[in-house]
Amino acid sequence: MKKLFTVVLAMTMVLALSVVSMAKNNTISLTANWGTTIVGLEYERRLGNFGLGLEANMFLNPNSMLDQVYPFAMRTNAILRYYLNLSPQIKPYISIAPGAFMIFLPEPGAVAASMFDMPMTLGVEYTPGNFRIALEGGYELLAISVPDPVAVSSGGLFFAKAAVGYRF
């Protein structure tokens, strides 16, 4: 009886793992943005036609965009995507990614500035096997609130994003 139970348990585990590995609902990607010169890492979980995930990005060269000497700036966003099922390998999508954009100032006693950040994009992904290649472009809305004096301003920029990743 123990042997039968062990065999059934082993078969169940193998079948469960094979179903999970064939589903390919998870993606991890390296990203690069043109417009804000940001590189990052993105994780996404697919739920039918929807994608939910997180991304963390940092500036390669913040001096080129901000016209100041900032040693470190980063962006974190939640990813919300809707995929159109036009083909099994090529899928266009729309995406919004609310998050925060943070700039850490080098001056002693300076307060780090954080901004609300909302990229809104249209994209297309190509998924040959376990790999993912994606291109997207859109508008990034930025809103900042500075504590001293209290001021709020907003603006934005157009940008393009490329991603290369692995589906598992």
> Would you kindly state where each structural domain of the chain is located, as residue ranges?
25-167
**Predicted local distance difference test score (pLDDT) of residue 144:** 79
**DSSP run (H or E) holding 30:** strand 26-34
Pairing of strands 113-126, 50-59: unpaired
**Using CA atoms, how far apart are residues 136 and 120, in angstroms rounded to an integer?**
10
Instruction: Tell me what percent of the residues of the chain surpass a pLDDT of 70.
Output: 69
- Give me the chain's average pLDDT, please: 82
What's the average model confidence in pLDDT over 144-168?
A: 81
- Are 155 and 127 contacting, i.e. CB atoms less than 8 angstroms apart? no
| More confident position, 28 or 154 | 28
- The reported pTM is 0.76
How many whole angstroms separate alpha carbon 115 and alpha carbon 105?
14
Q: How far is CA 150 from CA 60, 100, 143, 147, in A?
A: 30, 19, 13, 5
Long-range (24+ apart) CB contacts under 8 A made by 27-30 are: 27/53, 27/132, 27/165, 27/166, 27/167, 27/168, 28/165, 28/166, 28/168, 29/132, 29/134, 29/163, 29/164, 29/165, 29/166, 30/163, 30/164, 30/165
E strands, 36-89, are 38-47, 50-59, 72-83
Give per-residue pLDDT as tens, 58-76: 876 655 555 555 567 788 9
CATH class of 25-167: mainly beta
